[in-house]
Structure 1
Amino acid sequence: MADAQTTRLCTQIIRSQFGPLTANVASILLTRGRLTLPQIVRLTSLKPRTVRASILVLVQHNVLWHAQTEDEGEVLEVNVEECLLRLRFGRFVSQAGQLFGDAGAQIVQLILDHGKLRPPDIVSELSLGDAKAANVYSQAIHALVTAAYLKPSTILSHVSPRDKRIRYEAEEKAKIAGFPTAKELREARETAEARLKREEEEAEKVGLKRKAKEQKGPRSAKRKAAEEEDIVDPTVYFRVNCDKFNIHVRNTLIVKAVKERFNDGAALVLDTTLKVTESKQKNVLDVRTEPVSVSNIAVSLSDQEELASGLILKTKNPSNAACIKDYLGMLSCADNPTAAGRAAAFLSFGASKVQVEFETVCKRLRRRVLESVTRERHGPEGVRILRLLLDTGKMDEKQISKVVMIPGKDVRPLLALMSAESLISTQEVPKSADRNPSRMFYLWHVDLQKAYSVILGNLYKTLYNIGGRRQAEQEEPMLKAVLEKRERSDVSQDEAGLMSRLELDMIKEWEAKQEKLTVLEMRVEESVFILRDLGVFGFSED
């Protein structure tokens, strides 16, 4: 079951993309949790045929999970993360176009429109019988699959990983004789996780198969092919690997943060470091990149001549290698070898090897979102209190007032407001065993998990309001009539001649509003990505 804000947003997304009947089925599953098919039919009051068709659509688009239980049989559950990722599909298509050209963007868009497809179906749909175009699309599919931007859709991908993890843990615990210790339980959990990860890796290998290369020359018919190559299996259904595209979103945010803190030269060096190791980055769970040498970065930046413009050096014409080392020293905070310096670094630099520290940077990005929300609602005074509690831990009201240099009469209501929004929390310390409220210390602190969860819920609410505003703007009677007229085949060929100036102005104004709402939605979704997708490393700021 999802919370109220997540349920509303997921239902809105499904309604806008699949219609009201499918949204009704999804809303019941989001509200009540996993259900069987007869239960869904009874709760939605729809015909069984309609419910079955809606479920097939959601399964095809990877929004529903299956699970087989001993008590109820087959049950269905909404994959909330996959549903929320649909807000990011436009960015995925844009990234595919930048990496693999127009052919890659068209392939990714087609697969996103259909959920999952086989390579022959993709080629026949896009090439329209053109042999040359079919060859281009086949090569693009091979590049996408080889680089893991497309992954095979297997039976395991339709089963909830939580159910498999619970089952595997139960099987490992059953092997333990007697009462299990904490160490044995931890080992059982680690074994189950390793087994689940191994199954996922093996399932993703079915997309490629080995095929012998054709040997050219007079002796090729007399000997067996010694070389083999990987080809895409035409019988396998492929879906978009969102984790691989999320890597680019994360890297873009990190480069943007470096540019804001330092300059364009430092951002260019870090961007190059990320691109050198991009092929080895699997998902956003990576704690850091693979080690890369300074020479590899220098080779990639050999054609850049303006690296020295962002540095103040004694020499007039420094080499690129010297500039890169200076930038790496800045990014690793080499001039501040303390705990604060390590926490502010973007990468670790030692023994001519460089590693971008994703865990450290992502924690700092989440903290920046928390501070920005606090500044927007409570001003700089709220940010001062928040930073004090994050750095020192639990403090009472008098200590906070003294350190942040704000009168107690102003600190008290500000703490109450921030606590009401879950930005800070209280810890009760009793003076006596009876826990009398009048004989207690009340200490203020920041519960990061609680604060991030509340902010994430508010961001989901904002995304829902943006979608509602877009729908309300589009349903306005006069604008709706103009848009329907615009869709006519004769009008679409000559809009300027068959539409009045008033109608053209209405369309222009509506497109401007749509653009503003889309930009706002992208900014809010970026904050959601930082808090949800980059929140995999825990909430400790140590």
Structure 2
Amino acid sequence: MSTHENKLCRLIVREHFGPVVEKVANVLIRKGRMPVGMIARITSLTSKRVRECLFVMIQHNIAVYAETQEKTRMVTYYEVNRPELLNRAQIPKVLRSSREWYEREGESIAQTMLLHGKLTITECINDIVAHAGYDKRTSAQRIASLKKSFTRMVKEKCLIAVRPSDSLTATDRDMAEEKRETDKMTLPPTAAEMAAIRRTLGSQRDQELSKTNIVGLKRTLDSVDTDGGDKRRRLDFGELTINEEVEADVFFKINYERFIIRWRNTQIAELYEARLNPTAKTIMNTILTLAEERMINCKEDLSLDLAETLEFQQQELGINGSKPKTGECLDKYIEILEADLMQILKKDGGRTGQYVINLKAASKIMKKNLIQTVISSRFGSPYVRIMNMLLDKGKLEEKMISKFSMMPVKDVREKLTTLCTFGVLNLQEVPKSQDRTPSRTFYLWEVILTRAADALVDRLYHTMGNLRQRRFVEKAKRAVLLSKCERTDVQANDSLLNAAEKKELDTLSGILEMLEVQELRIAQVVMTLRDF
């Protein structure tokens, strides 16, 4: 991993958990997995303190462990969970999305879960109610509302159950599964047999992920009457209702992947809004919602009155200016979306009337648009023209780029060097002879979006680390004032602060707010380039 990513991970740990945990995390980030004794020697901390720090990190899902047999004893190695740690930069957006999707109760649940790492539904609700200070009657109503929101978040997989295997690394889990399979064989497996075992285990994991049942959520049938009869028929006629309840003894955590999936779907829909109109965005939002693992308000999404949102020309209107029917409008819009040059929505050739969404194409388009925006704002439109040309035509020589872009060779050479240094372009040498003489070598330029995205992400990590470090510097400059504000008498009576101190606090608040907003914007760009 890059130095900038390591620095950002370390600063996130310092801000969220303090300098002692940062010291332990920094060793694991720089040197990889280690046992407790080695961590204690490097950090000069006691083994007890190291275990406490590791416990905090495991509780918040930013550390994993693996047990290995070394001679006659079992040794436990600890490692930092980088993806989970880097996702913590999206915490403000997670809280905002939780409030938009699940209102105030969802935001309170997400905030409590992020504060404690892992909680059961009972512990989460009790903590929220205890800090809110409601009376007995209001508390009962709030508990019922919180249980409903918690159940909905579990059902929609924004909260997922914590299993013992989640504290293990993916590599260790795969190795343990492969060992169980190979132990059943009498002879050591061949390369073909190992490949077959890995394919089988991979298909089993895919089937496990695609299951509709949710761990920690139990469903029961509630009957309106006590008569017998077929349960399926009574369920269809409304005589039986399904009650969903979260199990009280199951621990849950925030599922960043579900939030990222929804944010990606929103951006895909916004692509069509920019190319067509808001109605196209509504249709794509509905299709993407139906494509998720669990249907969320499926019937409500399909009941949209699309005809009221469309604008028609006079010749398209019927008698007395009547608009076409909703079904006709929907068919027409889907045809337009399918014929769009982005080719994200297309018909499934194997099934009649079925449509599929090419998420890979959508991700490529979003990354390309974002990289073009960065190049245009930093260098100018001629650089974007060269990039688009290479994306369209593939590998080209310098003279061909100059010819197609209608720019002098000297200017083209300068721009190609700048883009290559920035990490957007790649240069490939094709020698004509074995001596690799420069005069007898083709130099081909190309754009590889994945490499360009990785290079840009590394630069953005550097910027995010600088912004986060600037926040620490600004707070350190005013450490005496901040320590005074934390006193109980000052918190009870702010008149103990003079006018200069209040002005300084306002200045600090404005600086911190500006830095946080900039970091959140960059985190959004990183998420698009890294996770989509």
SS in 1 for 2:339: coil
Runs (5+) with no aligned partner, structure 1 = 220-225, 283-291, 335-340, 535-542
> What CA distance in whole angstroms lies between the structure 2 residues aligned with 1:164 and 1:493?
52
Deviation at 1:152, TM superposition (A): 1.2
- Which residue number in structure 2 is paired with residue 83 of structure 1? 85
SS in 2 for 1:426: strand
> What CA distance in whole angstroms lies between the structure 2 residues aligned with 1:466 and 1:367?
26
1:25-79 superposed Cα distances (whole Å, 9 cap, x missing partner): 1111111111111111111111111111100000000111111223472111110
Provide closer, same or farther for how the CA distance between residues 314 and 231 of structure 1 changes in structure 2, counting only shifts above 3 A: closer
Deviation at 1:153, TM superposition (A): 0.9
Provide closer, same or farther for how the CA distance between residues 203 and 252 of structure 1 changes in structure 2, counting only shifts above 3 A: closer
Aligned amino acid, residue 397 of structure 2: D
Deviation at 1:122, TM superposition (A): 1.7
Moved more, 233-242 or 269-278: 269-278
Contact 1:269 1:297 in 2 (8 A): no
1:209-259 superposed Cα distances (whole Å, 9 cap, x missing partner): 45575887799xxxxxx9875432211111112211212211222233333
Q: TM-score, normalised by structure 1?
A: 0.83
> What CA distance in whole angstroms lies between the structure 2 residues aligned with 1:380 and 1:409?
17
Provide closer, same or farther for how the CA distance between residues 255 and 172 of structure 1 changes in structure 2, counting only shifts above 3 A: same
1:476-498 superposed Cα distances (whole Å, 9 cap, x missing partner): 23xx4444444444554565x55
Provide closer, same or farther for how the CA distance between residues 256 and 212 of structure 1 changes in structure 2, counting only shifts above 3 A: closer
Contact 2:394 2:446 in 1 (8 A): yes
> What CA distance in whole angstroms lies between the structure 2 residues aligned with 1:166 and 1:69?
11
Alignment coverage as a number of residue pairs: 502
Deviation at 1:527, TM superposition (A): 1.3
Q: Does 1:267 pair with 2:281?
A: yes
- Which residue number in structure 1 is paired with residue 146 of structure 2? 137
Aligned amino acid, residue 232 of structure 1: V
Deviation at 1:426, TM superposition (A): 1.3
Deviation at 1:16, TM superposition (A): 0.4
Trace 1:224-239 onto structure 2 (pairs within 5 A).
229-239=243-253
Contact 1:209 1:230 in 2 (8 A): yes
- Which residue number in structure 2 is paired with residue 318 of structure 1? 323
Contact 1:60 1:114 in 2 (8 A): yes
Deviation at 1:275, TM superposition (A): 3.6
One of 110, 114, 117 as aligned partner of 1:115 = 117
Compare relative contact order (CA 8 Å, sep 6+) and give the higher one, 1 or 2: 2
Trace 1:398-437 onto structure 2 (pairs within 5 A).
398-437=399-438
SS in 2 for 1:305: helix
> What CA distance in whole angstroms lies between the structure 2 residues aligned with 1:313 and 1:491?
72
> What CA distance in whole angstroms lies between the structure 2 residues aligned with 1:145 and 1:210?
13
Aligned amino acid, residue 271 of structure 1: N
Contact 1:346 1:361 in 2 (8 A): yes
Contact 2:160 2:252 in 1 (8 A): yes
Deviation at 1:346, TM superposition (A): 3.7
- Which residue number in structure 1 is paired with residue 336 of structure 2? 330
> What CA distance in whole angstroms lies between the structure 2 residues aligned with 1:358 and 1:200?
18
- Which residue number in structure 1 is paired with residue 271 of structure 2? 257
SS in 2 for 1:531: helix
- Which residue number in structure 2 is paired with residue 289 of structure 1? none
SS in 2 for 1:46: coil
RMSD of Structure 2 on Structure 1 (CA): 3.3
Contact 1:164 1:196 in 2 (8 A): no
Deviation at 1:503, TM superposition (A): 3.9
Contact 1:66 1:74 in 2 (8 A): yes
Contact 1:207 1:232 in 2 (8 A): yes
Contact 1:272 1:301 in 2 (8 A): no
Contact 2:306 2:329 in 1 (8 A): no
- Which residue number in structure 1 is paired with residue 36 of structure 2? 37
Deviation at 1:8, TM superposition (A): 0.5
- Which residue number in structure 2 is paired with residue 453 of structure 1? 454
Provide closer, same or farther for how the CA distance between residues 318 and 185 of structure 1 changes in structure 2, counting only shifts above 3 A: farther
Trace 1:142-157 onto structure 2 (pairs within 5 A).
142-157=151-166
Provide closer, same or farther for how the CA distance between residues 500 and 270 of structure 1 changes in structure 2, counting only shifts above 3 A: farther
Contact 1:426 1:443 in 2 (8 A): yes
Provide closer, same or farther for how the CA distance between residues 271 and 45 of structure 1 changes in structure 2, counting only shifts above 3 A: same
Contact 1:308 1:318 in 2 (8 A): no
- Which residue number in structure 1 is paired with residue 98 of structure 2? 96
> What CA distance in whole angstroms lies between the structure 1 residues aligned with 2:496 and 2:180?
70
- Which residue number in structure 1 is paired with residue 133 of structure 2? none
Aligned amino acid, residue 429 of structure 1: V
- Which residue number in structure 1 is paired with residue 311 of structure 2? 308
> What CA distance in whole angstroms lies between the structure 2 residues aligned with 1:178 and 1:505?
72
Deviation at 1:470, TM superposition (A): 1.9
Q: Does 1:189 pair with 2:189?
A: no
Deviation at 1:417, TM superposition (A): 1.9
Provide closer, same or farther for how the CA distance between residues 270 and 228 of structure 1 changes in structure 2, counting only shifts above 3 A: closer
SS in 2 for 1:35: coil
Contact 1:276 1:297 in 2 (8 A): no
Deviation at 1:279, TM superposition (A): 5.6
Deviation at 1:332, TM superposition (A): 2.3
> What CA distance in whole angstroms lies between the structure 2 residues aligned with 1:400 and 1:137?
61
Provide closer, same or farther for how the CA distance between residues 101 and 454 of structure 1 changes in structure 2, counting only shifts above 3 A: same
SS in 2 for 1:327: helix
Aligned amino acid, residue 22 of structure 1: V
> What CA distance in whole angstroms lies between the structure 1 residues aligned with 2:172 and 2:516?
37
Q: Does 1:52 pair with 2:54?
A: no
> What CA distance in whole angstroms lies between the structure 1 residues aligned with 2:492 and 2:205?
55
- Which residue number in structure 1 is paired with residue 4 of structure 2? 5
Contact 1:463 1:524 in 2 (8 A): yes
Aligned amino acid, residue 268 of structure 1: T
Q: Does 1:23 pair with 2:29?
A: no
1:385-423 superposed Cα distances (whole Å, 9 cap, x missing partner): 111111111111111111111101111122122222221
Q: Does 1:65 pair with 2:67?
A: no
Deviation at 1:164, TM superposition (A): 1.9
1:314-335 superposed Cα distances (whole Å, 9 cap, x missing partner): 425423444444433333225x
SS in 2 for 1:151: strand
- Which residue number in structure 2 is paired with residue 287 of structure 1? none
> What CA distance in whole angstroms lies between the structure 2 residues aligned with 1:317 and 1:218?
50
SS in 2 for 1:345: coil
Moved more, 390-399 or 375-384: 375-384
SS in 2 for 1:239: strand
> What CA distance in whole angstroms lies between the structure 2 residues aligned with 1:218 and 1:382?
75
Aligned amino acid, residue 301 of structure 1: L
Q: Does 1:165 pair with 2:165?
A: no
